[in-house]
Chains A and B, each alone.
Chain A
Amino acid sequence: MRSATITTGPATNLVETDTSTRFLPNRLVDYARLLIDSPHPDVAGTWPRVSAVLGRQALEITLSRFWLVAEPGVEDASMRAQLLCLSEYLAPRLVTRVRYAWHGFSAACHHHAYELPPMSTEIKGWLNDVDAFIKTCDAVVAKQTPPSRNC
């Protein structure tokens, strides 16, 4: 777990060191974790929803990256379709995690009549799922070859 104090804007050590070396999805997940772990007084009340927004976007960007390598063209389909297709390419356990995370984020992003925002532990779990997905995606991209359809 990262511990960072943020006093000024993007120029803080965390953001500065990571921005150059890390992909956007990683950074978004970092921001989300930052909000949960050490919320700034200004955003004390908003963290669950903002974390969810950031986590969801990290997930969606990663998914697009994955399709560009694995099956170009799928990234234009609806999210629901993309998530359904995913099971054809990745281990079922990971696919389930990704789907749950997306639905969790998605629910937190919309205004519901009465539903409570997710708990920090829930969001953290989903962020871990996104991490795992990013790693797998990184591996796929690194190979530059699409994984076999039935792995």
Chain B
Amino acid sequence: MDDPLIIDALDRLDEDEKIAGKGEELVLGVLLGRLSEVMDGGVVEHLEEAIKRTPTPLLAHLQSVTVSGFRGVGPECELSLRPEPGLTLVVGRNGSGKSSFAEAAEYALTGSCRRWSGKSVEWKKGWRNLHSSDVSTIAVRLRIDGQKELSTVRVGWRNNSLDSGVSTITSPGCDDYTLESLGWATAVKVFRPFLSYDELTKIAEGRPIDRYNELAPMLGMDSLQTPLECLRQQRLAVEKQIKAANTQVAETVGILERHSADSSSGSMIGAALEALSGEWSLDRIEQLVIDTEIEAHDHERLLINLEQLSIPDFDQTLGIVDDLRGSSQKLQQLRRSDSEQARRLAALLQKAIEIHHDHGDSDCPVCGCTDGLHGDRIKELKAAVQQLNGEAADIEKARKDAQDALNAAKKLIGTPSRVLKLIAEVDVDSEIDIDLTEAREAWRIWHDTPLRYSNPLNELDVLSKLADHLESNCLQLMETTKKVRSDAMAARQLLANQWHMVVDRLEELLPVAREGLQAEQLIRPLKQAETWLKKCLLTMQDERFETIKKQVKEIWDTMAAGSNVTLEDVRLGLKKVMMDVTVDGYDSVALSVMSQGELNILALSLFIPRVKSSQSPFGFVMLDDPVQAMDPLRVDGLAKVLNDLAQVRQVIVLTHDDRLPESVRRLQIPATILLVTRRTGSQMNIEESLNPVQAAIADAMALQMSEGLPEEAQCRAVPNLCRHAIEAACLESGRRKLFKLGMSFAECEQLWEKSPRLLPRVAIALYGEADRGGDVYRTLHNKFGAWAVKTIKECNKFTHSGVLEGADLKDLIRRSESLAGKIAKL
């Protein structure tokens, strides 16, 4: 946790009493990058110890950028720089490969290159130089404040894929440095010290949101935009959950309501509906899901009974009908016979036979006829007994058969009570949508037998009537009952399906509804957190912007001198940058009225305060061709702005033509100008054009040679320029010396400006101390000889009074140049 913005926001959260509870926890969570934990109900602690507060970061300056086989650079080439504040112009014609150095440095230090982002694959493939053999490397050497030795960031590639690049950082005394351990992981995002022309123009050519997106990172609010977006997404997700739950509950309620009308378990559905009205009672729903299983069972029983209604077997019925008819016929035939009479007659005759047997021949004991009991007659009687017994047995058998057939028929018909009760039950309940009318009628008829009105054994035709009854009604009964059975089966199936669907529905609903309820509890804190963070971001943005707004306006005013567009105010919204401008005094809309050059200036105005920020660890800034699309007046303005920036930053500007260097020379801005040339085979050459020392000497030479100024004036001006050269040399080597002594560059500048005279300045160069001016002559004499002392003295003296006419100005310039050169190398 080293992002100053996040830390600032955390502090504000601590102090703000208005936000508390879950809302505060959510903000804390999202700021610490642990939102999901808080969403899941966890508690995230904000430990003061975890925060690395770095009030003044250690500034890093660039010593060199060495590149080989990368982009425009073939064989290894080094861009050597002075690791201190100051302006360096890297000048080279288009295609000289100068931008490759900026891209290399950017890639090495940030792991990406903005100029390539959003470009085609071909563009990215072109990273490797065509003329290089097989080795591609980048080495960026850095001087980091407080470290005596240089650190090196090196990138090497394993294969042809740009992404296979591996960064290693070496720093004496520290083994495993990474960009993170330098504390740069966040810093490269917030203070990214690279700006290419592409990036500048994106602001002008893109849509308004693109402009904002380009401008916003420049304002360094990214690290808060991300958590805010995170909260927003989270809120949207939670709202979606709530909506999903509401929708599903509404759908379920609809289904339940429909089923409550046509289903047999209305009470259960009613309970479910009640549980889902108003505040959802999900536990109740869960209970219902369990209960409905049992309820469904009860309900099914009735249908199962209907399903299992017995149906008379057709063949059996026909058999019984035949039996009934057979017995009936038999009995009909034997109608006149009386088995009892036959049996008793047989018994009587048997008795007569027995009497004859015991007592011999006699008259008939019954009628007294003489033809009574005697031998022949007994034989007849015996036959008659046999006949009569046979008759009786026939009748008995017929009766028994008839009785059996009747029993079978009764059994077949069954007891009416059970079936009728069942059907009546269904009728009363009427929960089941089955038409029982026909079945009921069939059964009524079936049970309405002739037996109910007469005794079949006494009225022989009843048997055949019963047979007719069975025969004529059994088909109807069977058909209607079969229909009831299949209807019941279908109803049971339907019921099962319906119930399963409702139960399934409720079971599906439960988790979603639970999530919804949970989400419901989160939505308010989430909204609260989002509102708070948004407000915090805006406040911080305003505060930060207030301090840079002044700079922005200053830069604009300097660079846009002469423009008819006046930047009145720059304001920031959450997703927009509002610029109040007037054109010739009339209000207008900023971006639309600006020329390309002016837009670039605006982008620069916003970029420079960012890299100037005291929180940035980057002591350097690389600008790739900001000069394009600027007219000469603007270039002068740019030169001034760059010079101003160079007071606190090592400014490296890559530019493709001489406009900026010319402006720098003309305005006598101290700058190192490096010329980049590229020969065939991507062989790069970088040589220094003119540094401030050389520039002053060149000026002096030009003045001395000039025919444009009287000698009298030359004599007075040349010594000043000579002194100037020596002073510039003193500043250069003095800075080096002071840095080595551990002084910050701000302290160096302070010391320098506090010592306006030449001798103390030479003393700074010689000893790193300003107050040893008294030792200067002796040291110079010993080190370089008497001429050096003489030169200093002359520069000092003649600056004010001028040299005598006729004096050898050339010699003074030559000596000054020589001395300045020696001092610069100290």
Contacts and interface: CB of A to CB of B under 8 A. Distances in A.
A57 B702 CA distance: 21
A135 B709 CA distance: 24
B708 A43 contact: yes
A53 B668 contact: no
Interface stretch (B40-48, B95-103, B221-229, B638-646): B638-646
A85 B669 CA distance: 35
Given A48-B668, A50-B717, A53-B716, A114 B646 contact: yes
A50 B647 contact: no
B708 A53 contact: no
Contact of A109 (B712, B799, B801): B799
A42 B708 contact: yes
Nearest to A79: B800
A74 interface: no
Interface string B637-667: 0001001101100000000000000000111
B707 interface: yes
A112 B753 contact: yes
Contacts of A15: 710
B644 A50 contact: no
B666 A45 contact: yes
- How large, as a class, is the contact surface on chain B? 35 or more
A44 B699 CA distance: 9
B706 A42 contact: yes
A60 to B, nearest CB: 7
Given A45-B665, A49-B724, A117-B668, A9 B703 contact: no
B724 A43 contact: no
A43 B702 contact: yes
B75 interface: no
Contact of A8 (B705, B707, B723): B707
B713 A111 contact: no
Contact of B667 (A24, A28, A116): A116
Contacts of B668: 45-46, 48-49, 116-117
Contact of A50 (B705, B721, B723): B721
Contacts of A41: 708
Contacts of A83: none
A146 to B, nearest CB: 26
A122 to B, nearest CB: 13
B647 A113 contact: yes
Contacts of A34: 709
Interface string B207-226: 00000000000000000000
A6 B800 contact: no
Interface residues of A, number: 35
Contacts of B817: none
Contacts of A57: 716, 800-802
Interface in A104-139: 109-114, 116-117
A53 B703 contact: no
A31 interface: yes
A101 interface: no
Interface string B784-826: 0000000000000001111000000000000000000000000
A113 B749 contact: yes
A53 B707 contact: no
Nearest to A5: B708
A36 interface: no
Nearest to B710: A10
Contacts of A7: 707
Contact of A117 (B667, B705, B716): B667
Contact of A31 (B666, B713, B723, B801): B713
Given A110-B756, A111-B692, A49 B721 contact: yes
Given A7-B707, A46-B703, A111 B800 contact: no
B707 A28 contact: no
Interface string B723-755: 110011001000000000000000001001100
B723 to A, nearest CB: 8
A70 interface: no
Interface in A2-29: 6-10, 15, 24, 27-28
Contact of B706 (A43, A110, A112): A43
A35 interface: yes
Nearest to B699: A46
A35 B668 CA distance: 15
A113 B752 contact: yes
10 contacts: A10-B712, A40-B706, A42-B703, A49-B720, A50-B709, A50-B721, A53-B716, A53-B717, A53-B799, A57-B802
Closest A-B pairs by Cβ, 9 of them: A40-B708, A111-B727, A42-B706, A50-B717, A31-B713, A46-B699, A114-B647, A10-B710, A53-B720
Given A46-B717, A46-B721, A116-B667, 9 more contacts: A10-B711, A15-B710, A27-B712, A40-B706, A50-B703, A53-B799, A111-B723, A111-B727, A114-B670
Interface of A: 6-10, 15, 24, 27-28, 31, 34-35, 39-46, 48-50, 53-54, 57, 60, 109-114, 116-117
